[in-house]
Amino acid sequence: MDDTIVAMATAMGETSIHILRLSGSKSGNIIEECFEPRNMKRWSLRENFSLNLGIFRDEEKVLDEVLVGRMLSPSSYTGEDVYEINCHGGTYVAQRILQACIRHGAKLAEPGEFSKRAFLNGKMDLVQAEAVIDLISSRTETAANLALNQLSGGLSKRILNLREKILETFAFIEAGIDFPEDDVETLDRENLRARVNEALVDSNHLLAGSKTGKIIRDGLLTVIVGRPNVGKSSLLNALLREERAIVTDIPGTTRDEIRESVSVGGILLKLVDTAGICESNDLVERLGIERTWNALLKAELILLVVQANLPLTKDELYILNVYAEKVIVVVNKIDLLENEIILSDYNNAHWIPFSVLQHKGFEELEVQIKTRVYQGDVVLTSDSLLSNVRQISALERCDRALRQASESIESGMPWDILSIDLREALHHVSEITGHDVQESLLEDIFSRFCIGK
Ligand code: GDP
* Integer Cα distance of 162 and 394 in angstroms: 13
CA of 229 to the centre of ligand 1 (A): 6
Tell me which residue has its CA closest to atom 26 in ligand 1: 333
What is the side-by-side strand order in the sheet with 17-23? Answer: 35-37, 49-58, 61-71, 82-88, 17-23, 5-8, 107-108
Going residue by residue through the chain (453 aa), what tens digit of pLDDT does each one get?
Answer: 789 999 999 988 888 999 999 999 999 999 999 999 999 999 999 999 999 999 999 988 999 999 999 999 999 999 999 999 999 988 899 999 999 999 999 999 999 999 999 999 999 999 999 999 899 888 888 889 899 999 999 899 999 999 999 999 998 888 777 665 555 566 678 888 999 999 999 999 999 889 889 998 989 999 988 888 888 888 988 888 765 434 444 433 333 455 688 889 889 999 875 544 444 555 555 554 556 667 888 899 999 999 998 888 888 888 888 898 899 999 999 999 887 666 556 666 788 999 999 999 999 999 999 888 887 544 455 667 889 999 999 999 999 999 999 999 999 888 888 899 999 999 999 999 999 888 888 888 888 888 888
Tell me which residue of 52, 64, 74 sits closest to 101, measured CA to CA: 64
Q: Please tell me the predicted confidence (pLDDT) of residue 379.
A: 45
Distances (CA, A) of 195 to 163, 399, 410: 12, 14, 13
CA nearest to 17, candidates 69, 70, 85: 85
Atom 11 in ligand 1: residue holding the nearest Cα: 229
* Residue of the CA atom closest to atom 25 of ligand 1: 333
What is the C-alpha to C-alpha distance for residues 226 and 275, in angstroms, rounded to an integer? 11
* Continuous segment of H or E residues that includes residue 263: strand 258-264
- C-alpha of residue 351 to centroid of ligand 1, in Å: 18
Q: Quote the distance between the C-alpha of residue 334 and its chain's center.
A: 39
Which residue among 223, 225, 229 is best mutated to probe the pocket of ligand 1, counting the most ligand atoms within 8 A of its Cβ? 229
What is the reported pLDDT for 290? 59
Q: How far is the CA of 142 from the centre of ligand 1 (A)?
A: 31
The pTM for the full model equals: 0.78
Closest Cα to atom 18 of ligand 1 = 231
Over residues 326-340, the pLDDT tens digits come to: 999 999 999 998 876
Among residues 194, 201, 192, 198, the alpha carbon closest in space to that of 418 is found at 192
Tens digits of residue pLDDT in 342-392: 655 666 678 899 999 999 999 999 999 988 888 754 445 566 788 999 999
Which atom number of ligand 1 is nearest to the Cα of residue 226?
A: 3
- Show Cβ contacts of residue 378 under 8 Å, excluding neighbours closer than 6 positions: 208
For residues 125 and 218, what is the distance between their CA atoms, to the nearest angstrom? 21
CA–CA distances in Å: residue 327 to residues 274, 275, 300, 348: 15, 18, 9, 11
Ligand 1 atom closest to 356 (CA): 23
CA dihedral 184→187→192→195, nearest 10 degrees, is -130
Angle at 420 between CA 417 and CA 422, to 5 degrees: 110
- The torsion defined by the Cα of 227, 229, 233 and 237, in degrees rounded to 10, comes to -140
Residues composing the chain:
453
Task: Identify whether the C-beta of residue 54 lies closer than 8 Å to the C-beta of residue 69.
Answer: no
H-run or E-run covering 180: none
Determine the atom of ligand 1 nearest the C-alpha atom of 336: 26
- CA separation (Å) from 86 to 3, 16, 66, 195, 394? 22, 10, 6, 53, 40
Give residue 318's pLDDT. Answer: 86
Tell me the CA–centroid distance for residue 355 and ligand 1, in Å: 9
Ligand 1 atom 17, closest CA: 231
- Residue 333 Cα to ligand 1 midpoint, Å, equals 8
Q: If you measure from the C-alpha of residue 151 to the centroid of ligand 1, how many angstroms do you get, rounded to a whole number? A: 44
What does the alpha-carbon distance between residue 301 and residue 333 come to, in Å, rounded to a whole number?
A: 21
3-state SS class at 362:
helix
Rounded Cα–Cα distance for residues 10 and 89 (Å) = 10
Q: Cβ < 6 Å from ligand 1: which residues?
A: 226, 228-234, 332-333, 335-336, 355-357
